[in-house]
Structure 1
C-alpha cells in the first residue's frame, strides 16, 4: 500500500541500525502459543484499515484467540517503532505490516520468522507470481501478501478525446505522441505529472526489464546502466526535456486534486490502489476516468510492474506465533478476504482476481467500466525477478533529496541523479555491514 504523503526517516533509522546484529529477544521456531486450544491475545500492527474488518469473523471461528489491531504509524513510523521494540525486548507485536520493499530490512538480519515452519510455501500457487516474489527473501518466505499495487494507467477519456486521442496509448511511443497532442491544448494541459517519485521511475524500469538491484544474502549489487534501465530513463528524460510533463504539481497535493478534477491532467500511471482514492480526489471527474494497462515498450507485449503493495510478517520475538499465523492466513488468504475486499482492499489472491464479482462488476465512478478485470490482468502481467536492497527505506528518502534539485532547477539529468544515488546507497549499505558494489 503506497502512502499518500511524504515520509521522512526518523533519527533511529538514520543512525546505525545494526542490520546484521542478532535481534534482542528473538526466538526461533514457529509453533509457540495459541496454536490449538490455548488462549492467546494477539496484537497486530497495521495502517490498513481493512484488516480490522476480518477480526469479528476470525474471533467467531477461534473463540480462544482475541485480536487487537493497532495503528502504530504508517511505513517509517511503524518500522522505527518495531525496531525499537525489538531492541528493547518488549512491546513486540504478533504481526506487523510491511511494504514489500521494507520486508528484507527485517528479514535478512533475522528479525522476522521464516514462515516455512507453518507450511506457507503451499500457498504460493494462490498468489500472483510477483507478489509471492515480494515476500520471498533468500529463498525463504517471511510474509504473506496483503494488498497489491499493479501499475496501471488511469486516464481522463474526455481530455484525451479533446486532444484528438480516441483510445489510450498501447505503447510508450504512442504515449509520447499523445503527450504532444495533449500539451497542444495549451494552458496547464499535460498527459502526466512528476516531481520525482522514485516508485514511478522504478516501475518504468521494472517493466522495461531493468533490474538495478540484485541481493544475495548480505551482498547487494547496484547498477543503473543495464539496457532496460537505460531505455526507461532515457524515455522519461525525453518527456521531461520536451516539457510534456507537469513538474510543478506534486501528487497528493491540493493542486493535484484540482488538475484531476478539471481534466488538465490527462492521466496518472500509479498502482491499482488509486481506484479507491481517486473518487475522493476528483469527484467532479466521475464518469470521465477509465483504467488501462500500462503502455508497453513493444507493440503486442503484455508486461507490467508494481507500484506499491504490502505484506504482513511475524516478528521473531513475537509471543504467539502459531495463533498469529492462523490470523495472518485468515485475512490474507481465507475467509477474511471477503470483508476486506468489500471494504476496498485490492489483493493479489488469484481466487479473488478471477472471481465472477471481480471480473464483471461495473464501477460507477469509472463510467461503468469493469475495472476489476483490468487490474486483475495487470496483476498477472507483473514481471518477476525484481528486488529491493534491504536499506531501501533509507534510500527512497535520499532519492527524494537528490531529485528535488533536478525538478526545481532543471539542471543535470536523471542518469546523473541515479549515479549519485548509487554512490550514496553503496556507502550507506557498506557502513551498515552489507557488502555493496
Structure 2
C-alpha cells in the first residue's frame, strides 16, 4: 500500500546496498532447527503497518496451536526498512516476516537479505495472482515475497461535479479528459479536474500506461532513460495540463485542503490506486453518493491498458529464526483461511480467487452510488501493462524526487522533462556509489 507521508533521505541511514553476506546471511532456521515442525512451541514476529494482517492471527493460531504470532508496527515504509537493516547489521532482533512495498523487494533481495521462497514451493501459488503482482515480487527469476495488497490505477470521479460541468460520461480517453478539464475549470476559480504537487507515483503510473519503461534492471545493471516514446508522450500530456492551468498545483495530496476539495467537489477526479476506496469515504464523507470509479482514461480509443500505483508484499529475512512457521502464516493470510477476513476488513488483494468471485464482482458500494466497484477494480488489475521495473534503490530515489520537483510546482521554473533528467542524474550517481552499474 502506498504511503502519503514525505520520505526522508536514505543515503545517510541505510548501509551500502552491496554490503552483502557479512550482514545478511546465517541465522535462519529450517523445520529441523526450530521452524514449525516437531510440535514445539514457536513464536514468530511479523512487522506490518497493514492493520488487516492482524485480523488473520486468531484463526491461524487456532489452526496452529504450536505457533504464536506477534504483529508489530515497526514503522511505515522507510522507517521499517531502516529498522530492518539495523537489526540485520546488529545480528539481533530480526523479525520472521516483514512487509515491503513492491519497489523495496529488490533492495533487500539483491544483497541476499531475503529468503528465496522457492524452497517453500511458491510456484504452486502463482496461478492465484494477477501476473503484474507476481512479477513485482520476482527478482532475477526468484520469488522473494508474496503479494498481499495491490493498487491498480483507477480514476475516482465526482459524478455530480462532472454533471455540473456538462460532462455526462467519465472521460474514456486522455483527449476526453483534457476537454473535460477545461469544462470543469470553467465552473469557477476553485474547480479543477485534479491536483498535482509532484506526485512521482502518479506520473510514473501515467508513463507506465503509455508504454514507457524508463527503468531497466538486469541483476546489478540498471539503465534509466526518460526519452523513450511512451515516457515522452505521457510527460508531454501532463505538461500541457499543467501549462494550461487545468491542474491544481496548490493542494497537496493527503492534506486537510485535499480533504476539503474532495468533500465540496471542487476536485473532480483523482487517479490513484484502487486502495483509495478504503480511505476516500473517511476523507470525503460529505461526497457520499457522488463518487464513482472508472478505468484510467486510455491513450487510444478502444484500448484497455492500465498501470499500478502502490501495493505491498511480505518476505522472510534471510536471518529470520523461524522461517517455516513464518511461511505457514504468510500463506495463511495471503491464500488460506485468513484471506477473507482481510478482504472483509478492506484489503484490496491481487488474488484471482477473490477478484473473479461472484461476491467481489457483484457487491455494490453505497458510498460510490451503489456502483459495483469491485468489478471495475478487478478489471483494472487484470489490464496492468507488463514489463515495468523499479531500480533496486527506488526507496532512496523517490525520497529525493519531491525536493527536485518542488521549485517547479512552487515557482513554475523548469519543466517535467527537466525534473526527470535531474532525477536521473542523481539516481545514476547514487546507484553507482552503492555498487551498481547505472547508466
TM-score interval, smaller chain: over 0.9
The alpha carbon displacement at 1:77 in A equals 0.2
CA contact (8 A) 1:151 1:272 kept: yes
The alpha carbon displacement at 1:72 in A equals 0.2
Deviations 1:4-44 (A, max 9, x none): 32222356536x52434224252387734333223210000
* d(CA) in 1 for partners of 2:198, 2:229: 21
Tell me which residue corresponds to 1:92. Answer: 94
Gaps of 5+ in 1: none
Corresponding residue SS for 1:13: coil
Decide which of 331, 334, 351 is 2:333's aligned counterpart: 331
The alpha carbon displacement at 1:3 in A equals 1.1
Tell me which residue corresponds to 1:83. Answer: 85
Tell me which residue corresponds to 1:315. Answer: 317
The alpha carbon displacement at 1:66 in A equals 0.4
* d(CA) in 2 for partners of 1:397, 1:186: 35
CA contact (8 A) 2:205 2:308 kept: yes
Instruction: State the number of aligned residues.
Output: 436
Corresponding residue SS for 2:417: helix
Corresponding residue SS for 2:69: strand
Deviations 1:358-407 (A, max 9, x none): 11111010010010111001011111111100110110011111001110
Equivalent residue runs for 1:207-356 within 5 Å: 207-356=209-358
Deviations 1:137-170 (A, max 9, x none): 0100000000010000000000001000001000
Tell me which residue corresponds to 1:22. Answer: 21
Q: Is 1:387 aligned with 2:386? A: no
* d(CA) in 2 for partners of 1:367, 1:334: 32
CA contact (8 A) 1:152 1:292 kept: yes
Tell me which residue corresponds to 1:140. Answer: 142
* d(CA) in 2 for partners of 1:242, 1:331: 47
Corresponding residue SS for 2:23: coil
The alpha carbon displacement at 1:328 in A equals 0.4
* d(CA) in 2 for partners of 1:319, 1:267: 47
Tell me which residue corresponds to 1:131. Answer: 133
* d(CA) in 2 for partners of 1:331, 1:134: 19
Corresponding residue SS for 2:378: helix
Structure 1 vs Structure 2 CA RMSD: 1.2
* d(CA) in 1 for partners of 2:110, 2:13: 16
Distance verdict in 2 for CA 1:25–1:419, change over 3 Å: closer
CA contact (8 A) 1:23 1:110 kept: no
Equivalent residue runs for 1:42-191 within 5 Å: 42-191=44-193
Distance verdict in 2 for CA 1:135–1:262, change over 3 Å: same
* d(CA) in 2 for partners of 1:65, 1:21: 31
* d(CA) in 2 for partners of 1:181, 1:309: 33
CA contact (8 A) 1:13 1:394 kept: no
Which has the larger displacement, 331-340 or 86-95? 331-340
* d(CA) in 1 for partners of 2:323, 2:256: 43
* d(CA) in 2 for partners of 1:30, 1:375: 39
* d(CA) in 2 for partners of 1:74, 1:255: 23
TM-score under structure 2 normalisation? Answer: 0.97
TM-score under structure 1 normalisation? Answer: 0.98
Tell me which residue corresponds to 2:36. Answer: 35
Deviations 1:295-342 (A, max 9, x none): 001111111100000000000000000110010011011111011011
* d(CA) in 2 for partners of 1:156, 1:401: 31
Deviations 1:29-84 (A, max 9, x none): 77343332232100000000000000000011100100000000000000000000
* d(CA) in 2 for partners of 1:287, 1:373: 18
Gaps of 5+ in 2: none
The alpha carbon displacement at 1:121 in A equals 1.5
CA contact (8 A) 1:28 1:113 kept: no
